[in-house]
Chains A and B, each alone.
Chain A
Amino acid sequence: MPALHIITLVKWVPDAQLERGFTAQRRIDRTEGILGELDEHPLEAALQISESLSDRQVRVSALTIGPAGASAALKKALQIGADDGYHLTDDALAGADVSATSAAAAAAIQHVRSLAGLDAEYLVLTGMASEDGETGAVPAQLAQRLGVPALTQATALGIDGARLSVTRTAGTRQQKLACALPAVVSVTDQANEPRYPNFRAIMKARKKPVTTFSLAETGLDAAAVQPKVQLLSAAPRPAREPGEIIHDDGTAGRQLVDFLQKERLL
């Protein structure tokens, strides 16, 4: 079997536990961030595939696209277990939409493959959605640009010989799909329980190589990553009107029904 190169996309995102917002340029404020938790699931999936294919050479690379701070996401990915890290950073990518992101990612993946110099089949794994953009549309656009299938929202995945299979839910149906590599797969938070890096893994990660590159090195110019969507306004959602809060004095169940009746919700 040829070697397998699994490239996982990881994103440095604002921490959802903290206040998030927009800058004056109507871009998401990215002064601080973390490795998106949803991006730990594709990493875990990559590591599990690697462990399941003991007779095959498997490389797990983590690729991030983002400002300088995004190197923190790569560092965490290396601690969790990726073999090497790649960082595409370029001012032309600030304010990227789905189209710009997928265009940059497709070029970056080809660049990473040539840098890695493996004679390998490849598989791209992503999270189910980024925690800031939340579109879930990048994997399919990326697959379109690479000319490969996109099996999205995987709740389970595995490689058997030359075939990749994915279990997913579509509406009210559960499906099992299969395809040959290369392919793009987005992995949900249902697929696995990501591992925590232990002290040894953290020490080991320090020695793992990270390569940083610009858009021009991938062969793209700024025109190729022009957003196709223009943000006109971004405003905080108005707070909901404060409601009535009662402490149960033994009649709260009845008071609830009174409230529903008053609001004509019965």
Chain B
Amino acid sequence: MTQVLVFFEELGAELSISQQELLTLAGQLGEISVVTTSAEPSPALAVQGIGSVYAPQADVPPGDPALADLLAEAAAQAAPDLVLGADTADATDALARLAVRLEAGLITSAESIEGTTVTKSVLAGAYTTSAQPVGGPLIATLRPNSVPAAVQPGSLPQITTLPVSPSGAVELLEETELPSTGRPALSEARVVVAGGRGVEGDFSLVEQLADELGGAVGASRAATDAGWIDHSAQVGQTGVIVSPQLYISVGISGAVQQKAGMQTSGTIVAINKDEDAPVFEIADFGIVGDLTEVIPQAIEELRARRQS
């Protein structure tokens, strides 16, 4: 039976959707064990299918060279054919260290994994590649929304404390929760409405449309750079990569780095007043028009239909 070791760089009161996706994929591929950076893994791990959980003696902070020891010790116990993590900086960093330690291949941002063959998008989504490790286990991070999450509650698995402690080289001085928008998380949302330079500093129409559709709010780099909205809303190569069922692009031209973050969305709607904007090349439904006229009408129509 294939052994899959799943790495969690954080553990909240509940598993995030991408953590559930990781466990779902791991369960499809083989038997699951989990390694976490927190010394006292939360009851969130009470999920069917997890055989064992490995934890350090004390929480290991991001960036610490001891992450390599933690993962290598867990790998020595679990003898994995595959080590999986989320497509986040912290998981990438820890798995990257493990790959050096095990002299194994690392593939980031996987979209599907069959056996040890990984399919992913490269060159800002312009190409799809498939690749395989040359010997050693496959070590990979998984893009969010690559598998539908399906985990069942179970009993809390046995926790094995490994003889690994933080090295003391890295100190976590401060940690604060970013202010919540009250909307779904951008990377996990079913609907994303994103605004660009065309909103001219006013995100209220984009936000209202997002709320009308129960979606998350995204933005282009031009909009986040201008300070109109927090950087955490940025969609694209240097922001969040999203793949929702519906992406509505508002006042965004559709540069290659923006497309890199959204072109695998199920349905793409674009609203732009320039009919030559590149975003129309990938739109399923494009409206050449002024967003300050189109969006209020759409919101009014959505409300009217809801009432009738």
The segment out of B28-36, B74-82, B196-204, B281-289 that lies at the interface is B281-289
Contacts of B297 in A (CB 8 A): 251-254
Asked if A99 and B300 make an inter-chain contact with CB atoms under 8 angstroms apart, the answer reads no
Which of B95, B133, B246, B286 is close to A246, meaning CB atoms less than 8 Å apart? B286
Chain A contacts for B14, CB-based, 8 A = none
Q: Is the CB of A176 within 8 A of B174?
A: yes
**Distance in angstroms between the alpha carbons of A196 and B34 in the assembled complex:** 47
| A235-B127, A252-B297 as given contacts; A245 in contact with B288, CB under 8 Å | yes
State whether B295 touches A253 (Cβ < 8 A): yes
The answer to the question of B5 belonging to the interface, with a C-beta cut-off of 8 Å to chain A, is: no
Interface residues on B, range: 35 or more
- Is B173 part of the binding interface, using a Cβ–Cβ cutoff of 8 Å? yes
Interface segment, B39-47, B153-161, B175-183?
B175-183
- Once the chains bind, are A152 and B93 in contact (CB under 8 Å)? yes
Interface string of A221-249 (1 = CB under 8 A from B): 00000111111111111001101111110
Q: Is B302 an interface residue (CB 8 A)?
A: yes
Interface string of A122-148 (1 = CB under 8 A from B): 000000110110111111110111011
Asked if A172 is at the interface (CB within 8 A of a chain B CB), the reply is yes
Q: Which of A184-200 contact B (CB under 8 A)?
A: 188-190
A255–B237 CA distance with the chains assembled, in angstroms: 31
Residue interface bits A95-138, CB-to-B below 8 A is 1, else 0: 00111001000000000000000000000000011011011111
Nearest 5 A-B pairs (CB), nearest first? A253-B297, A248-B289, A228-B105, A140-B93, A253-B298
A-B contact pairs, 8 of them (CB 8 A): A98-B99, A128-B238, A134-B108, A143-B65, A171-B10, A177-B63, A180-B169, A245-B275
* Chain A residues close to B by CB (< 8 Å): 16-17, 20-22, 28, 38, 97-99, 102, 128-129, 131-132, 134-141, 143-145, 147-153, 155, 165, 168-180, 188-190, 226-237, 240-241, 243-248, 250-257, 259-261, 263, 265-266
- Which residues of B are at the interface with A, using a C-beta cutoff of 8 A? 9-10, 16, 61-65, 68, 88-90, 92-97, 99-101, 103-109, 117, 121-136, 169-178, 180, 185, 191, 213, 231-232, 237-238, 245-246, 256-257, 263, 267-269, 271, 275, 280-290, 293-302, 305
